Amino acid sequence: SEDTQQQIIRETFHLVSKRDENVCNFLEGGLLIGGSDNKLIYRHYATLYFVFCVDSSESELGILDLIQVFVETLDKCFENVCELDLIFHVDKVHNILAEMVMGGMVLETNMNEIVTQIDAQNKLEKSEAGLAGAPARAVSAVKNMNLPEIPRNINIGDISIKVPNLPSFK
Amino acid sequence: MALKMVKGSIDRMFDKNLQDLVRGIRNHKEDEAKYISQCIDEIKQELKQDNIAVKANAVCKLTYVSALLRRNATTPFVLFLLSSTNFGYLAASQCFHEGTDVIMLTTNQIRKDLSSPNQYDTGVALTGLSCFVTPDLARDLANDIMTLMSHTKPYIRKKAVLIMYKVFLKYPESLRPAFPRLKEKLEDPDPGVQSAAVNVICELARRNPKNYLSLAPLFFKLMTSSTNNWVLIKIIKLFGALTPLEPRLGKKLIEPLTNLIHSASIQVQKQYSISIFGKVLFCFSLTVKYLGLLAMSKILKTHPKSVQSHKDLILQCLDDKDESIRLRALDLLYGMVSKKNLMEIVKKLMIHVDKAEGTTYRDELLTKIIDICSQSNYQYITNFEWYISILVELTRLEGTRHGHLIAAQMLDVAIRVKAIRKFAVSQMAMLLDNAHLIASNTQRNGICEVLYAAAWICGEFSEHLEELNQTLEAMLKPKVTTLPGHIQAVYVQNMVKLYASILQQKEQAGEKEAAQEITQLMIDRLPQFVQSADLEVQERASCILQLIKYIQKLQTKEVPVAEEVIALFAGELNPVAPKAQKKVPVPEGLDLDAWINEPPSDSESEDEKPKTIFHDEEQRHSKHRPPEIDEEELARRREARKQEQANNPFYIKSSPSPQKRYQDTPGVEHIPVVQIDLSVPLKVPGMPMSDQYVKLEEERRHKQKLEKDKKKKKQKKEKKGKHRRHNSLHTESEEDIAPAHHVDIITEEMPENALPSDEDDKDPNDPYKALDVDLDKPLADSEKLPVQRHRNAENLKSPDTEAPLVEKKSKKPKKKEKKHKEREKEKKKEREKKVAEEEKKSSKHRKKKHKKEKEEKSKDKKKSKKKQHHSEEETAESVQNGTLDDEPLPVRSWAYLGAPGSWEAGTYDIQGNLQHDSQVTVSVIFENKSTSFLKSMELNVLDSLNTKMLRPEGSSVHDGIPVPFQLPPGVSSEAQFVFTLQSIVMAQKLKGTLSFIVKNDEGSTHEKLDFKLHFSCASYLITTPCYSDAFARLLESGDLHMSSIKVDGISISFQHLLAKICFYHHFSVVERVDSCASMYSRSIQGHHVCLLVKKGENSVSVDGKCNDSTLLSNLLDEMKETLSKC
């Protein structure tokens, strides 16, 4: 339920963030994530952690690779991705993830394929919004002009908590 | 309208969008909550507007806010928007879960989206659905998703395939109908779809591998051909699950695997990988190290020996700073212990326990130690004193949560290893004396649980206790009342046991004063337990207090009471296996479900009942009293065993009984001394250190070895003695280690003639159990997926068709089926009500489509009539080519259909259906001989009055049945069609058409192929064996018609001839004498057919008898035709 989901995310963050830089990328997280069959596999990029929780039917190296694909895809879709992109475009991140993982199973691992689908969807969305959306886009473009100022306010410590990028739990 | 839209979008300019919201929240760090509530108010306003874009934006924001605050406010709004935006489904996947009521309302919206022309709408719907699918949704949508699995766009196909797994989990009935299509997707041209299908099947096979063995060849092909790493990994995982079930697979896999060397998880790679890992563990990064350990643990299961050589390496890993690696290494240790190294390994682990920070890891270590020691019935423990002292040492751990586990071990060992009891009791008494150290931690499952075990052991085996008084006093300390209730209860109960022992001791010694003193002590101290808040404690205490007061009364009268008190606890408690109760076989004639008394009816007078129940119960008790264990018998056996041991020269008699030996050893002399040195609270003085045992053990082994060597020299030629007790798996070197004491590990008791079954190991609540179904069985009608159809549509359709034979089907389904169908109809009605409005629209839509298709078909009608080569000529040829030998004949006969070299070749076989007296199944093998891709095949037959194709309910006589697969070039596949018949006495011919789409580089065209199905009379016969006496009786009965034929010019052998009749006409030989044989067969409608076949010089005569003369003459005609070709 909602509460356990939150607790899992909190606990996972707690576990993962306190690990050293040079230890292995696997964590066998006891009871909270559903017993010994499951484990956490994570990768650490600058201030971001990408954590997957998988069961024994997934290959450990395969998942590490998948995280890499995910990050590279994000990079392609956002052009030099940074954590702010993830914060401001939660919906897009979700969309990308949904193209890779569906219902707890890996859907697509080919990056080009994913990027093509995402681009096609974005195009479609734009054409749907069409004229009606134009004024709003213009306004938001103006608003975004001062985006570079934003990083000053960032408290890096809690970024990784607030990014709800962990919907992939089965 | 246009004005309104423009106005709406101008309004929107000033609304916040998601980015603004995020920015706003981040700018209001201090009063975040206030800002958010303000935003929520705005969102509420926005949701009230008409403009769908505004609403979408609002929901978008709301989802973000709710994700942030974890408040589930969005649900009702999301409904509006499911279809309108991608975000609708994202929001839905965030806030829906199985308990959400509104999900029921979404079914139609989702269905609409699934059939949307835009592939991304469909895709989004599928993604969303994967997150919140419920059993109801799964049931209603299974069929829609099935159709999507053969969508033209691979994007949709792969999503549909993947989501099927979720559907299977929620609605297991859908697995069997959907499986053929899933299997077909394994060979899909798109790699994404293929990988999705592999994914799903692997996931399914992981839980119930045996059902998927038949797919092994297919996967093998995939493995050798696929280049997608992801698919390869999955397939290897799958084979990992399959190989234990099918040993031959392993051998086949070696070659491709060594080519691939992907994952080391497969057992066949053992030698190879081990040598690698040995080196890897030293040098590479920790990630690789972890994987190495993981692989080792998998190898360990099959090849423990090869891993054991890496023991030191693995022990090193225990020192690693990374917890994951330490845990993995621990796992490995479990499988590596042997008699020889157990003590050493546990000693190292104990050191780690002391060093370990963090209770989780320490707890993990503790459980591992206990696991390692207790595995397979204490197989590796040679010295139980050592084990007890290890357990006692473990009690000194602070803050562990596994007190219960330790306690259970103590109890288990003390009860089952008789020889250790004295030692165990002395240790436990010590624990009780020092209870104040342990009791400080009273949390649940804390270490104080061991006091439970200690108290029980001291009480139950009080005869071994030396300082009875002291222990009793320790148990009566006021501090005890702070312990948890259930421990106090055990204390109280066992106090009395101790008391009884003391009483007996004193009385035997004649010290009446002392006896009365001890009684007085009990009476003084027990009231503190009577006041306990715990009911159990209170009850036991007050009961016992009264008992002791009574004893005191007797004592003052100078009546000896000890014997009677001790009788309260006489007899030994035997360990009973936890499953024992379940395994008691139900005695014959006992029906557990039967009512003992008739269920009470309302009219019955109440006062009668209790009597009968009581009466009955008493009777039952007397019947089922378990047989008493015969003490004499036991004693006799024990004697016999002792004798046997005495006569065995290799049995180590020199090792003294545990008690004696124990007093001899210098290191443990100080055990009984109890002086509590409070300055070192953690070490309980007077407790033996387990290390001592390690040293002792080494000495002992050394001595034994010397002794043995001596003996060996003396009696070289004698055979090896058998002094092992309960092990058979050990290596040579281990055999040399004899246990320090003669231990008798009592196995847990099981009821006599217990039923051996592994069933109870399975968890009945396992969600995957429902998916354990046989996938190779053909589908029954009742298993078809419920298809959402609209009655109106059917009714409208049928008048349109100008069918000459619009007759009601004459099929008479069996009762069961009828019932089932009725039920389904009811369900449909219900559903229809619910969905009425929406459904109308979509059905109209569907109808239009259908018409279009029809038009297209008629245009494309190319009359490519091919010659019908059907006949026995072809068959005979094919048969002679390979199948017909003198040896066993194949069961099926194939006739030819279609023309060779055309688009398609088909062969068919007609078989009677045993379950239905008016149905036959036609299996058709389609083979694509062209170079193009064939799809959307539909087979249609012009029904005759007598013979009709069984179509799915609701389709008209003009609809074809779709063939459930597509054919790439050169591939063949089989489909089955069921026909119903009224009369079977005549041969039948049916005309039919197969329409299909040919797809090649130039495009796709519709093609048609006409064919004829020939139902010969023989195809209505089912080969049935018959015994000669039954055969004779049948012939005598006289109600059979008779007919005969004679064929000249037969040259083949009689043996061959009979084989042909059996093969083509489905007969079986009853009896054969020289060149004369009687044969028998039965029709699906129960006609008996008997034949007498005689062979002359150059001719054969066949006399037949049958219930039906027409059938017989037709049969004989067919037979004549067959024979004349010989």
Same domain? For A34 and A77 the reply is: no
Contacts of B918 (CB under 8 A, 6+ apart): B811, B812, B980, B981, B982, B1084, B1085
Contact (CB, 8 A) for B198 and B231:
yes
Q: Does A157 touch chain B (CB under 8 A)?
A: no
B879-903 residues labelled b (16+ CB within 10 A) or e (exposed): beeeebeeeebeeebbbbbbbeeeb
CA-based nearest distance A131→chain B, Å? 9
Whether A62 sits inside 8 A of B29 (CB atoms) is no
Measure the CA–CA gap between B741 and B725, rounded to whole angstroms. 12
Pick from B18, B287, B328: which is nearest to A25 by CB? Answer: B287
- pLDDT for B67 equals 64
Whether B131 sits inside 8 A of A103 (CB atoms) is yes
Examine residue A161 and state whether it is found in any structural domain, yes or no: no
Q: Does B237 touch chain A (CB under 8 A)?
A: yes
Same domain? For A76 and A53 the reply is: no
Could you tell me the two tokens for B283?
A: 């040098």
Could you tell me the two tokens for B862?
A: 């190319």
Residues B264-285 pLDDT 10s: 444 434 444 444 444 444 434 4
Q: How many residues does chain A have?
A: 170
How many C-beta atoms surround the C-beta of residue B711 within 10 A? Answer: 14
DSSP string spanning B361-428?
A: HHHHHHHHHHHHHHHHHHTT-S-HHHHHHHHHHHTT-SS-S-HHHHHHHHHHHHHHBGGGHHHHHHHH
Q: Does B294 touch chain A (CB under 8 A)?
A: yes
Radius of gyration of chain A (CA): 18
Per DSSP, which regions of B573-628 are E strands? none
Q: Does B263 touch chain A (CB under 8 A)?
A: yes
- pLDDT for B968 equals 76
Measure the CA–CA gap between B1007 and B936, rounded to whole angstroms. 11
Assign B848 a pLDDT band (cuts: 50, 70, 90). very low
Same domain? For A66 and A29 the reply is: no
CA-based nearest distance A57→chain B, Å? 7
Whether A24 sits inside 8 A of B324 (CB atoms) is yes
Please state, rounded to an integer, the average pLDDT across all residues of chain B.
67
Number of folded domains that form chain A = 2
Does A116 have pLDDT greater than 60?
Answer: yes
- pLDDT for B137 equals 80
- 3-state SS of B38-89 is HHHHHHHHHHCCCCHHHHHHHHHHHHHHHHHHCCCCCHHHHHHHCCCCHHHH
Does B659 have pLDDT greater than 60?
Answer: no
- pLDDT for A139 equals 58
CA-based nearest distance B485→chain A, Å? 28
SS3 label, residue B135: helix
- pLDDT for A102 equals 83
Examine residue A170 and state whether it is found in any structural domain, yes or no: no
Alpha carbon separation from B134 to A94, A106, B827, B1041 (Å, rounded): 22, 21, 18, 62
Same domain? For A134 and A84 the reply is: yes
Whether A95 sits inside 8 A of B90 (CB atoms) is yes
Contact (CB, 8 A) for B961 and B987:
no
Does A97 have pLDDT greater than 50?
Answer: yes
Same domain? For A62 and A135 the reply is: yes
Please state, rounded to an integer, the average pLDDT across all residues of chain A.
72
Q: Is B510 left (phi over 0), alpha (psi -120 to 50) or beta?
A: left
Same domain? For A31 and A89 the reply is: no
Burial status of residue B600 (CB atoms within 10 A of its CB: 0-12, 13-18, 19 or more) = exposed
Examine residue A168 and state whether it is found in any structural domain, yes or no: no
Assign B105 a pLDDT band (cuts: 50, 70, 90). low
Q: How many residues does chain B have?
A: 1126
Measure the CA–CA gap between A27 and B364, rounded to whole angstroms. 14
CATH number at residue A75: 3.30.450.60
Contact (CB, 8 A) for B784 and B173:
no
Same domain? For A53 and A68 the reply is: no
Which residues on chain B are in Cβ contact (under 8 Å) with A162? 68
Examine residue A159 and state whether it is found in any structural domain, yes or no: no
- Give the range of the structural domain holding residue A45, as residue numbers without chain letter: 1-57
Q: Does B158 touch chain A (CB under 8 A)?
A: yes
Instruction: Say if strands B947-949 and B1041-1048 run parallel, antiparallel, or are unpaired.
Output: unpaired
Burial status of residue B798 (CB atoms within 10 A of its CB: 0-12, 13-18, 19 or more) = middle
Examine residue A167 and state whether it is found in any structural domain, yes or no: no
Contact (CB, 8 A) for B54 and B11:
yes
Q: Does A68 touch chain B (CB under 8 A)?
A: no
Nearest CA among B951, B958, B1019 for reference residue B980? B951
Measure the CA–CA gap between B508 and B217, rounded to whole angstroms. 80
Report the chain A residue with the minimal C-alpha distance to residue B67: A164
Whether A136 sits inside 8 A of B93 (CB atoms) is no
Examine residue A154 and state whether it is found in any structural domain, yes or no: no
Q: Does A4 touch chain B (CB under 8 A)?
A: no
Same domain? For A48 and A75 the reply is: no
Same domain? For A25 and A83 the reply is: no
Same domain? For A45 and A19 the reply is: yes
The model's pTM is: 0.50
Same domain? For A11 and A79 the reply is: no
Examine residue A47 and state whether it is found in any structural domain, yes or no: yes
- pLDDT for A24 equals 74
Report the chain A residue with the minimal C-alpha distance to residue B11: A136
Choice among A55-64, B297-306, B918-927 with the minimum mean pLDDT: B297-306
Burial status of residue B636 (CB atoms within 10 A of its CB: 0-12, 13-18, 19 or more) = exposed
Q: Does B208 touch chain A (CB under 8 A)?
A: no
Pick from A23, A90, A113: which is nearest to B64 by CB? Answer: A90
Q: Which of A35, A57, A79 is the last residue of a domain?
A: A57
Q: Does A27 touch chain B (CB under 8 A)?
A: yes
Say how many Å lie between the first and final Cα of chain B, rounded.
Answer: 86
> Within the 61-90 window of chain B, which residues sit less than 8 Å (CB to CB) from chain A?
64, 67-68, 70, 72, 86-87, 90
Same domain? For A70 and A121 the reply is: yes
Q: Is B225 left (phi over 0), alpha (psi -120 to 50) or beta?
A: alpha
Residues B142-191 pLDDT 10s: 888 888 888 888 888 888 888 888 888 888 888 888 888 888 888 888 88
Between B902 and B1024, name the one with better pLDDT: B1024
Q: Is the ipTM beyond the 0.85 threshold? A: no
Measure the CA–CA gap between B467 and B891, rounded to whole angstroms. 84
- 3-state SS of B178-192 is HHHHHHHHCCCCCHH
Examine residue A146 and state whether it is found in any structural domain, yes or no: no
